[in-house]
Amino acid sequence: MKRKIRMGMVGGGKGAFIGAVHRMAAALDGQIELVCGAFSSSPEKSKLSGQEFFLAPARVYANYEELISKEKNLPAGERMDFVSIVTPNHVHYGPAKMALDNGFHVICDKPLCFDMQEAYDLDKTVKETGLLFALTHNYTGYPMVKQARAMIKNGDIGTIRKVVVEYPQGWLSTKLEDSDQKQATWRTDPKRSGIAGSMGDIGTHAENLAEYITGLQITELCADLTAFVEGRQLDDDGNVLLRFDNGAKGVLHASQICAGEENDLNIRVYGTKAGLEWHQMEPNTLVVKWLDKSKEILRTGVGNLYPEVQAHARVPAGHPEGYLEAFANIYRNFAFCLQARLDGREPEAIYNDFPTVWDGVRGMNFIQKVVASSNSKEKWVKV
């Protein structure tokens, strides 16, 4: 008999933002059950979290080392299949590496890790172990993002000339890290976040989205990063000129000091035949701007879209799906692929679509290059 995929979790104790998101994303489609976790650096907090998630006390662990080693010793029919890592950046590498080394598949929050050395090592480990590794660049999970990618792949908008990708937020407009707001505290701390602030936190989402949708790779960039809030150690704003491998040009800007902006990741791609525009905050809409005819508003569930779109939607047109559903698409695709592996089947191509450790390596590299560029007097830095 088929069974649900079993998930363990590192981090994400009660009250954490992204941990709860991962749990809902995992639960939505009924393919995955949470069976164990090490939810906090405080064993007491971890225990309380486990109770809240209705877990057996024996499977709530004090730390990730215990989680991995003890789960490994459970019978195959019981132990977790994969671990979901939802800790701050500096605690990605440790559990990911150990999980892989012990035969567990991994889903990891982005950015991949703390520095390039960790990134390359994780990439190598994934290749060597042959295990599944998903990175939650969740915005690529939206149906209309997949429509955009499919349209470009199929040449519907011609050769790409220009890409504008933006990620404005406003929540760090003041020195929020001086309060006890956890999200702000670690994200602005170079010891936990790495060498970049907004560029690591959201700039990498923008970079990943642009490359995912266009199928192009950034080859050169020119960046101007700023820490606008006095006393902040990492960038809270960045403007970047881009050049792509096919000769296209572009602009990427990401910011956490754009007062009043919520979470407006958006992208415009212009080809020789048409332009595309997508906004994360209105995710079921993809605008197609044709050169010589009326604009079209593509909508999840309406008309002839590429098969990718409906394969990643759950309800009919006009019933809005959002952030959690897009996030859940990564979990569901991962679960489908893992199920196929458990069954000894090839995964279905349409579901074999989630960001991998390689997206993570590219993201880490983007962070390095954008910081280097900002510190340089040279105009262009090669990526």
Residue type at position 319: H
Distance, in Å, from the CA atom of 270 to the CA atom of 290, rounded to the nearest integer, reads 10
Residue 126 belongs to what H/E stretch? helix 116-129
Closest to its own copies by CB, 153 or 379: 379
Closest to its own copies by CB, 117 or 217: 217
Q: Taking the complex as a whole, how short is the minimal distance between the CB of residue 126 and its own copies, in angstroms?
A: 28
Q: Taking the complex as a whole, how short is the minimal distance between the CB of residue 184 and its own copies, in angstroms?
A: 12
Which residue is listed with tokens 């990439």? 123
Q: Taking the complex as a whole, how short is the minimal distance between the CB of residue 152 and its own copies, in angstroms?
A: 13
Q: Taking the complex as a whole, how short is the minimal distance between the CB of residue 251 and its own copies, in angstroms?
A: 5
Closest to its own copies by CB, 44 or 378: 378
Three-state DSSP class for residue 189: coil
Residue length of the chain? 383
Q: Taking the complex as a whole, how short is the minimal distance between the CB of residue 130 and its own copies, in angstroms?
A: 27
Q: Taking the complex as a whole, how short is the minimal distance between the CB of residue 295 and its own copies, in angstroms?
A: 4
Tokens found for residue 330: 């990564």
Distance, in Å, from the CA atom of 274 to the CA atom of 204, rounded to the nearest integer, reads 26
Nearest CA-CA partner of 285 in 270, 275, 271, 300:
300
Closest to its own copies by CB, 33 or 121: 33
Closest to its own copies by CB, 121 or 261: 261
Partners of residue 273 on adjacent β-strands: none
Closest to its own copies by CB, 103 or 318: 318
Question: 239: exposed, middle or buried (C-beta count within 10 Å: 0-12, 13-18, 19+)?
Answer: middle
Distance, in Å, from the CA atom of 112 to the CA atom of 122, rounded to the nearest integer, reads 9
Q: Taking the complex as a whole, how short is the minimal distance between the CB of residue 121 and its own copies, in angstroms?
A: 32
CA distances to 284, 300, 329 from 211, rounded to whole Å, are 20, 22, 19
Closest to its own copies by CB, 328 or 357: 328
Distance, in Å, from the CA atom of 219 to the CA atom of 242, rounded to the nearest integer, reads 8
